[in-house]
Structure 1
Amino acid sequence: MKARNIGSNSKMTEIVARKRKMGDRKEKTAPKWPSIKPKNNLHVTPLRDFDLFTVQNFFSSAESKAFIETAEGIGFAHQGSLGPAKGEAYRDNDRISVNDAVLADSIWDSGLNKLFSDIRIRGKAAVGLNPNIRLYRYKVGQRFGRHIDESNDLGDGKRTRYTLLVYLSGGPGELKSKAKNDSNKPTDSSFDRLVGGETVFYGSRNSIVAEVAPIEGMALLHIHGDKCLLHEARNVTKGVKYVFRSDVVFA
Structure 2
Amino acid sequence: MQPPSSAPGCCRRGRSRPKSASAAASRRGPLCPSSGMIVTHAQAQGVPDYPSPCCYQPPPCRGRSSGRQRYIPLALTINVPEGKSGKKKCKGCPMCCTKRVATQPSALSVIFQEQKYPEPVYYQNIDAVAIPKFFSKWECQRLITFVEEAGFDVHQNECSIKCCWRDIVDKSFAKALWHICGLQWFMRGIRIKGMVPVGVNDVVRFVKYTKGGRFGRHIDQEVRRLDGRISVYSLRVFLNGSDREFDGGSSVFHMPFRADPVCVEAETGLALLYPQGEMCTVQEEAEVTWGCKHVLRADVLFAPPCLLTTESADGF
Larger radius of gyration: 2
Q: Which residue does the alignment assign to 1:66?
A: 142
Q: Deviations over 1:183-229 (max 9, x none)?
A: xxxxxxxxx53221111111116634632111111111110111000
Match of 1:103 among 173, 178, 190: 173
Normalized against structure 2, the TM-score is what? 0.58
The answer to whether the aligner puts 1:134 opposite 2:205 as a matched pair is yes
Q: How does 1:112-151 map to 2 (within 5 A)?
A: 112-151=183-222
> Match of 2:123, SS?
strand
C-alpha deviation, 1:32, in angstroms = 2.7
Match of 1:169 among 240, 244, 258: 240
Percent sequence identity over aligned pairs = 30
Q: How does 1:1-251 map to 2 (within 5 A)?
A: 32-33=107-108, 35-48=111-124, 51-81=127-157, 83=159, 90-110=160-180, 111-171=182-242, 193-204=245-256, 207-208=259-260, 210-251=262-303
Letter in 1 for 2:204: I
Q: Which residue does the alignment assign to 1:7?
A: none
C-alpha deviation, 1:156, in angstroms = 2.1
Q: Deviations over 1:42-69 (max 9, x none)?
A: 2201125994111000011110000000
Higher helix share: 1
8 Å CA contact 1:160, 1:249 repeated in 2 = yes
Q: Which residue does the alignment assign to 1:22?
A: none
Alpha-carbon distance in 1 for matches of 2:186, 2:155 = 32
8 Å CA contact 1:143, 1:234 repeated in 2 = yes
Alpha-carbon distance in 2 for matches of 1:196, 1:49 = 21
Q: Which residue does the alignment assign to 1:9?
A: none
8 Å CA contact 2:117, 2:185 repeated in 1 = no
Alpha-carbon distance in 2 for matches of 1:31, 1:109 = 15
Coordinate RMSD, CA, aligned: 2.1
Structure 2 residue runs without a partner (length 5+): 1-104, 304-316
Inter-CA distance 114–51: structure 2 relative to 1 (3 Å threshold)? farther
Ranked by relative contact order (alpha carbons within 8 Å, sequence separation 6 or more), the top structure is 1
Normalized against structure 1, the TM-score is what? 0.73
> Match of 2:146, SS?
helix
8 Å CA contact 1:47, 1:210 repeated in 2 = no
Q: Deviations over 1:77-118 (max 9, x none)?
A: 1012464xxxxxx11101101111110001110201111111
Inter-CA distance 226–37: structure 2 relative to 1 (3 Å threshold)? same
Equivalent pairs, count: 197
Inter-CA distance 39–217: structure 2 relative to 1 (3 Å threshold)? farther
Letter in 1 for 2:163: N
C-alpha deviation, 1:161, in angstroms = 0.7
Inter-CA distance 31–103: structure 2 relative to 1 (3 Å threshold)? closer
